[in-house]
Structure 1
Amino acid sequence: MNGKNIVKNIAIGFALALAGAGAVLFYKNNIAMNPGETLLKYMSYAEDGEYDKMYDLLDKDSQKGISKKEFIKRNKNIYQGIGMKTLEAVVTSKKRETTVTYRVKMRTNAGVISYNNKTIFVKERRRYRMEWDDSVIFPQLGAEDKVRVKTLHAKRGTIKDASGNALAIQGKIYSVGFVPKKMDSDSVKLASKKLGISKEEIQKKLEQKWVTKDSFVPLVKLKEYSSDLLDVKGIIISTETGRIYPLGESAAHLVGYLQNGEGKAGLEKLYNKQLSGTDGLEIYIVDANGQKKQLLAVKAQIDGQSLNTTIDSKLQKSIYEQYKKDKSAHVAMNPTTGEVKALVSTPSYDAQAFILGMTPEKWNKINNDPRHPMQNRFKGIFAPGSSLKPIIAAIGLSQNKFSASDDFGNSGKRWQKNKSWGGYYVTTLHDYSGHNVRNALIYSDNIYFAKAALKIGKDTLKDQFDNLLFGKNLDFTFGLTASSYGNEGFTSEIQLADSGYGQGEMMVNPVHMATIYTAFSNKGNMLKPYLIKQKGSKKQVLKEHVFSNDAVKTVNDAMKQVISNPNGTGHAAQIDGIDLKGKTGTAEIKQSQTDTKGTELGWFVTIMPKTEYKESLELVSMTEDVKKRGGSGYVVNKTKKILEEYLQ
């Protein structure tokens, strides 16, 4: 056989093979497909969402009963609505039998739906086609029935204080609205007066396109309401579940708020995943009257976990009430454990308004307030003024740069190191004798601490500030702005000297300040602050031996005198029978030494020992704009009131 014939025969053979394969494929798909295989093909189309191909497998009578458009719509709505992921079908009858029995396993958003079913097939034009009705989708599904998917909302976890009292909880709120057909001519005017909503706003809601005379038109949500509200014709009040904030504005920056079910600030945002839990889902069939007929699948919701904090609600509220009209930040802590007992920022805002409905008027009032009530001040940094002096003293003593008995000399109320400082002088307010650490802290002597910083030296002071975590993010629940001693360190003697009494470029976060001060209650060890109670929560040392034992003793003795000594700058905080210690601070915020228009920040750090009924407490308070209001003395007076309430 020559080459041409061989090639020809191969080509013919190949063509015959192709023709044979095509014939087999055609026969399999169009002629020989038995009822069982047709059922499996139908189910594979359902899994792939090819609803038009499903329709093509229906017999003529079935197609007369439902149009292709309606068939596609019904199946698509159901299969996509339940979130079908996979569909597995197994024929349990003989595949050539016209009544096909089968088992289905369907994975959906609510879990697995499994059922046994049967469907009849008829032969039309040499192909088996399905006698279809709605029971092919689910055995219990009738033509008038519907498949419903219901979200089972997880209950949000409660945020609790140290005693288990709620800081945020799911509670009852009231939706107030009008039913138009029940209103009279005075309804809008009376509702406006009682609800504090303008008549124009109410009218606008009533004129929405969807509103009919029988509609319930929501006006406002309330945490509580007066019974005489129901005297207004047409007013209807319904009950629903919503987030309740029992401490209101006093804990807004701490707790935060929800918006559209999601935490948007504070602990609500930081622990949103834990608090939210996981919603569940229910898939079921309802009849024409909307009555539940058959449960198909259910995935139970997982309620959110509660968040247990170390907060003392009474103390939190007490601090807020004293400072609610000020711009201020406050941190209360147990200095022997690191437990944070209060975190307050003022002015504050009404977190409940975000749940009940933040009207444009309310939002504009908050947003345009020059005091910035939404600003969380306990996260920020501020010039510390003299509140830094105990830290400078402890550094100098611990590093043996001077001793407790060293007298730096009397330089009066105005001092400069030498003529190289030009016209720049460090000033102080008080004249006294014996310029040592103890007296310098009692009288809050700026000149002494300017000299102390120079004796410590820029390199040592930088190293010690770094050791105290300046310039680093403190490991704490809230993200805090890092404290700083200058963007480029200490670049001049004047800046170094000013830093010694908390000016220069010193900026400190209140939580960080409270953390450093714990070293004075723990033999020089700085404790880690913590706000969230966890299993096994206990005292943790953040930094060991940041100050020497001798330095701690010397500074503690001096800080007691700051309050007990009649000349002490914190003497007004003295409480009979309580051995308080602390340090005031007034930081000047001005453009130059001759600037008379600048403002002042007032600080007061107080440490109260454990009493018979109360645990030890350290309170750091910072208040803006205290110039001409007594400076740090303004803060001292308020601190006394807070401590007296705490001791009750």
Structure 2
Amino acid sequence: MKGIRTPEQEVARFRSRLAVAGVVALVCFGLLAARFFYLQVMRFDYYSTRAEDNRISLVPVVPNRGLIMDRNGTVLARNYSAYTLEITPSKVADLEATIEALSALVDIQPKDRKRLKKLMDESKSFESLPIRNRLSDEEVARFIAQRYRFPGVELKARLFRDYPMGRFGSHIVGYIGRINDRDLERIEDSEDTANYRGTDHIGKAGLEKSYERELHGATGFEEVEVDSGGRAVRALRRTPATPGNNLVLTLDLKLQEVVEKAFGNRRGALVAIEPGSGGVLALVSVPTFDPNLFVDGIAPQDWDELNNSPDHPMVNRALNGAYPPGSTFKPFMALAALMSGKRTPAQAISDPGYFDFGGHHFRDDKVGGHGTVDMYRSIVHSCDTYYYRLANDMGIDLIAQTMGEFGFGSKTGIDIEGESSGILPSPEWKKRRFKKPEQQKWFGGETISIGIGQGYNAYTMLQLAHATATVAAGGVMFKPHLVKYIESASDGSRRMIEPQPIKTIPIKPEHIETIRRSMVGVNREGTGARAFAGAPYVSAGKTGTAQVYSLKGAKYSSRITERLRDHALFIAFAPADKPTIALAVLVENGGFGAESAAPIARAVLDYYLLGKLPAGIAPEDPGAEGNSGDGAGE
């Protein structure tokens, strides 16, 4: 019957099905074996590396930042370790609630919250940001006991930068701060990204920024075995970090302290240089600031106070402030006259107390004039009329050319950022400076004012001290530098910063001697005699007063607004026969150089040459009575 199969047929059908199933299973097992072979043999190296990467984590080891010390070993910047409480915003569900809960365990001030908010605005959400730094042992213990309650909050041991001298030397040392986007771009441009893995801070100003590569060191790495949850199991291998190099400066911190205290609450700048090497002994800008404020991220209130202060404490007046040199310009004008043959030391003029040019009366500070004036008397008694005439005879082109030889109007190349080039006036400069044709024309009367250090003249105290040191060194100009040597933190080896002579200005020894003798006369019988009375050493100096606001012939009095008073200046070098120090000092709105700036210079030289500390040298009110004309009195 149709539809009925015999047992033999059933067996055959079953066997055929079994064979098909066997072939299918064999093919599947073959494919699986081929896949296993491909993964475990053909791709062994690739997946082995991936597995190893998942098992082993590379943790950067941040290097110790190098120290900064003065020439005597006094530490200006150092490191110390402490615990910090950090939050990763992306891992915290409710940031405000988390901070409130943390406040019960750790003291979190409003300024800490503001700083965190500022850091969040500047950083990425997945970055770990500090909410409190420098936790006490008790705070650390309290947090660890409650740690499970705070996902996304970590306790980390970090190195902190500390500036033990605080405000003293802050414009030189600078400060570090958290790395921002601009810093990252700079790091990427220098192809140094790997060396900054794990590093949160970088030099932002001063030597901390200029010598960042030396101070930072080389980042190390630690190979750590981790479990599936990413927790460290054990350390496998460690490549230690190389600590940053130490900077030892030419700076004498005690001298720096003497200067800053001598200024008191006044504004100004002073630069002191070794004439024979270019080493900077003191570089002062006052008022100063505390660099410790910036290390953890400056609080908005502190930043507003610094940034909006009318005294501008963040401005480095010694490097960046450009001021008219006033009568401190006269020794350089006299030297230029000797070099160019426009004057001889004995050549004299009759000073009636003014100089007429183009129908304009350029007045001397002394009514009735100084009488017969040769080069010596012109410097000792600071005779404006002598230099009015000299400027007219020399002409602006010769003045600009010769003053440029002494470095005026050019950056010195000092090893710290932020230096201004100042203004060395010339017809070419005026054409670049002004856009309108009627403003670009150079007038003869402008040359007259240039001769006494007024007009468009504007130089930094570093430039003025640099030029003074060049004269003191007989015309040999050295590049100013703050770092004496770089010391390896690994083996203690030293890399000296050798003095770099920039050039030698061809000045005849007799011409240098004429200027030196005249500047000695300033401190013996001239405008600086009162400040240097009784000094047991021979010094050379020159007072200067730079006009801020024209009084149109009126006299100074205490009624004049303090910020409208003239700037007080002084340049000096000593000992006069073999100078070991040259300096330039400016007191903003200090009045006359002899009253405000010269006493500070005396304090500097007394300490540097004699080791004598001043008891209290703040001068009397700079608004004391005195004459002021187109060339302000000294």
Fold shared per TM-score above 0.5:
yes
Structure 2 residue matching 1:307: 3-state secondary structure: strand
Task: Tell me which residue corresponds to 1:504.
Answer: 455
* Identity across matched positions, percent: 24
Q: Deviations over 1:445-502 (max 9, x none)?
A: 1111111222222232222123233343322213421132226358222111111110
- Structure-2 residue corresponding to 1:95: none
Further displaced range: 631-640 or 259-268:
631-640
Matched with 1:309 is 249
Question: 2:518 aligns to what?
Answer: 558
Report the CA distance between 1:349 and its aligned residue: 1.0
Rounded Cα–Cα distance in structure 2 between residues aligned with 1:608 and 1:467:
23
Structure 2: where are the runs of 5+ without partners?
Answer: 1-26, 87-97, 118-129, 145-154, 179-200, 431-441, 486-494, 555-559, 612-634
- CA distance in 2 between counterparts of 1:200 and 1:551 reads 62
The separation in 1 between residues aligned to 2:400 and 2:52, in whole angstroms, is 74
Are 1:402 and 1:455, in contact at CA under 8 Å, matched by a contact in 2? Answer: no
CA 1:575–1:153 in 2, change beyond 3 Å: closer, same or farther? farther
Corresponding position: 1:162 with 2:80: no
Give the superposition deviation at 1:392.
Answer: 0.5
Distance, in Å, in 2 between the alignment partners of 1:319 and 1:277 is 33
Q: Distance in 2 between matches of 1:239 and 1:637?
A: 49
Whole-angstrom distance in 2 between the partners of 1:199 and 1:545: 55
Contact 1:325 1:347 in 2 (8 A): yes
Counterpart position of 2:15: none
Q: Do 2:351 and 2:385's aligned partners in 1 also have CA atoms closer than 8 Å?
A: no
Distance 1:599 1:298, change over 3 A: same
Q: Which runs of 5+ in 1 are unaligned?
A: 1-25, 47-103, 107-135, 206-216
Shift of residue 615 of structure 1? 8.0
Offset at residue 529 of structure 1 (A): 1.7
Which residue of structure 2 lines up, in the alignment, with residue 51 of structure 1? Answer: none
Bigger mean CA deviation after superposition, 588-597 or 431-440: 588-597
Matched position secondary structure for 1:572: coil
Within the candidate set 215, 219, 228, 1:275 is matched to: 215
**Among 327, 336, 341, which residue is 1:395 paired with?**
336
Matched-pair contact (CA < 8 Å) for 1:467–1:546: no
* CA–CA distance in structure 1, aligned partners of residues 541 and 528 of structure 2: 9
Deviation at 1:250, TM superposition (A): 1.7
Q: Secondary structure at the match of 1:589?
A: coil
Q: Which residue of 1 aligns with 2:572?
A: 606
Seen in structure 2, the aligned counterparts of structure 1 residues 298 and 239 have a Cα distance that, compared at 3 Å, is: closer
Q: How does 1:182-581 map to 2 (within 5 A)?
A: 219=132, 221=134, 241-260=159-178, 261-286=201-226, 293-380=233-320, 381-412=322-353, 414-417=354-357, 420=358, 422-429=359-366, 431-479=369-417, 480-486=419-425, 488-489=427-428, 491-534=442-485, 535-565=495-525, 567-581=526-540
Task: Tell me the equivalent position of 2:184.
Answer: none
Query: Residues 245 and 274 of structure 1: is their aligned pair in 2 closer, same or farther, counting only changes over 3 Å?
Result: same
Residue 634 in structure 1 maps to residue 585 in structure 2: no
Please tell me the residue identity of whatever aligns with 2:607: E
Q: Is the 8 A contact 1:610 1:617 kept in 2?
A: no
Task: Confirm or deny: 8 A CA contact 1:161 1:313 kept in the other structure.
Answer: yes
CA contact (8 A) 2:527 2:543 kept: no
> How many Å separate the matches in 2 of 1:166 and 1:498?
46
- Secondary structure at the counterpart of residue 582 of structure 2: strand
Q: The residue matched to 2:502 in structure 1 has which SS?
A: strand
Aligned residues: 497
Please name the residue that 1:151 is paired with. Answer: 60
Contact 2:400–2:425 (8 Å) recurs in 1: no
* 619 and 468 in structure 1: CA distance in 2 versus 1, 3 angstrom threshold: closer
Contact kept? 1:604, 1:621, Cα under 8 Å: yes
Contact preservation (8 Å) 2:65, 2:243: yes
Deviation at 1:44, TM superposition (A): 6.5
In 1, Cα distance between the equivalents of 2:281 and 2:463? 15
- Taking the aligned partners of 1:543 and 1:200, their CA distance within structure 2 comes to 53
SS of match in other structure, 2:302: helix
In structure 2, C-alpha distance between the alignment counterparts of 1:560 and 1:446, rounded to whole Å:
19
Query: 2:351 is paired with a residue of what secondary structure?
Result: coil
* Distance in 1 (alpha carbons) for counterparts of 2:168 and 2:143: 32
* 8 Å CA contact retained: 1:156, 1:305: yes
| 8 A Cα contact 1:574 1:580, kept in partner | no
Task: Give the match for residue 39 of structure 1.
Answer: 40
**Contact conserved, 1:151 with 1:282, CA < 8 A, in 2?**
yes
CA distance in 1, matches of 2:461, 2:282: 12
Residues 159 and 200 of structure 1, relative CA distance in 2, 3 Å threshold: closer
Q: 1:200 to 1:342 in 2, by over 3 A?
A: closer
- On the 8 A contact 2:539/2:573 being kept in 1, the answer is yes
Q: Where does residue 547 of structure 2 map in the other structure?
A: 588
8 Å CA contact 2:539–2:576 kept in 1: the answer is: no
Please state whether the residue corresponding to 2:483 is helix, strand or coil.
coil
The 1:575/1:334 distance shift into structure 2, 3 A limit, reads: farther
TM-score scaled to structure 1, two decimals?
0.68
Deviations 1:303-332 (A, max 9, x none): 211122211111111111222522212111
Q: In 2 relative to 1, CA 201–532 (structure 1 residues): closer, same or farther, beyond 3 Å? A: closer
User: In 1, Cα distance between the equivalents of 2:589 and 2:282?
Assistant: 22
Per the TM alignment, residue 254 of structure 1 is displaced from its structure 2 partner at its CA by 0.6
**If you compute each CA radius of gyration, which structure gives the higher value, 1 or 2?**
1
Match of 2:225, SS state, is strand
Residue 64 of structure 2 contacts residue 159 of structure 2 at CA under 8 Å; is this kept in 1? no
Cα distance in structure 1, aligned partners of 2:504 and 2:131: 59
2:472–2:579 CA contact under 8 A, matched in 1: no
Matched residues in 2 for 1:540 and 1:42: separation? 61
Equivalent residue letter for 2:508: S
Shift of 1:175: 6.3
What is the deviation of 1:356?
Answer: 4.6
Residues 277 and 302, structure 1, Cα contact 8 Å, conserved in 2: yes
Tell me how far 1:219 sits from its aligned partner: 4.9
CA gap 1:34/1:219 in 2 versus in 1, 3 angstroms: closer
SS in 1 for 2:172: helix
Cα distance, 1:157 vs. partner?
0.9
**2 CA distance for matches of 1:199 and 1:352?**
15
Distance in structure 1 (CA, Å) of the matches to 2:64 and 2:584: 36
Q: Could you tell me how far apart the structure 2 residues matched to 1:291 and 1:246 are?
A: 38
Partner of 1:79: none
- Measure, in 1, the Cα distance between the counterparts of 2:33 and 2:143: 70
How far the C-alpha of 1:221 sits from its partner, in A, is 4.5
After superposition, what is the alpha-carbon deviation per residue over 1:129-175, rounded to whole angstroms, capped at 9, x for unaligned? xxxxxxx9249x9xxxx654422111111112122322211135686
Which deviates further from its counterpart, 291-300 or 392-401?
291-300
CA-to-aligned-CA distance 1:478-529 (integer Å, 9 cap, x gap): 3421132226358222111111110011111211111111232222222222
The question of whether the paired residues in 1 share the 8 Å contact of 2:572 and 2:583 is answered with yes
- Residue of structure 1 equivalent to 2:90: none
Alpha-carbon deviation of 1:638? 2.3
Deviations 1:532-575 (A, max 9, x none): 2244544433221353211110010011111111x433531345
